[in-house]
Amino acid sequence: MRTIILIMCLILLNGVQISAQITDGLVCYYRFISDAKDSSIYGNDGILYPDATANGFLHIPYDNHSFLAVPFNTMNQLGDFSVACWVRMNAFQFQGSDDMNTILSGFKGYNLP
């Protein structure tokens, strides 16, 4: 019985170590529960503009003015970084000069708070 309990404790501790390693080095983590608050320790909260919503996922409507903005310092001076997300697009922009299909941009043209 003692051996079984010891093995169970080792399995649980191993799971905790793996979980901690997955989050090591995160600059930001957005869960989009009801807003774009950063769940990492850094507080890089995002801002939803103007018709973008968060309700368990991020929804950006098909227009040319809704988006998620994150603080400039989130990616500032990073040489290497990774972004992980699931994307479902219902429509694509094929004509005109609007960049409505952009998923990630480093553009710093907006005056964000």
Contacts of 48 (CB under 8 A, 6+ apart): 35, 36, 54, 58, 66, 68
Determine the average pLDDT of the residues in 1-6. 54
Structure tokens at 96: 């005109």
Mean confidence (pLDDT) of the chain: 74
The enclosing H or E element of 16 equals: helix 2-23
pLDDT tens-digit readout, 73-93: 787 777 777 888 888 877 776
- Evaluate if residue 16 carries a pLDDT over 60: no
Q: Which residue has the higher pLDDT, 107 or 104?
A: 104
Task: Give the pLDDT of residue 74.
Answer: 81
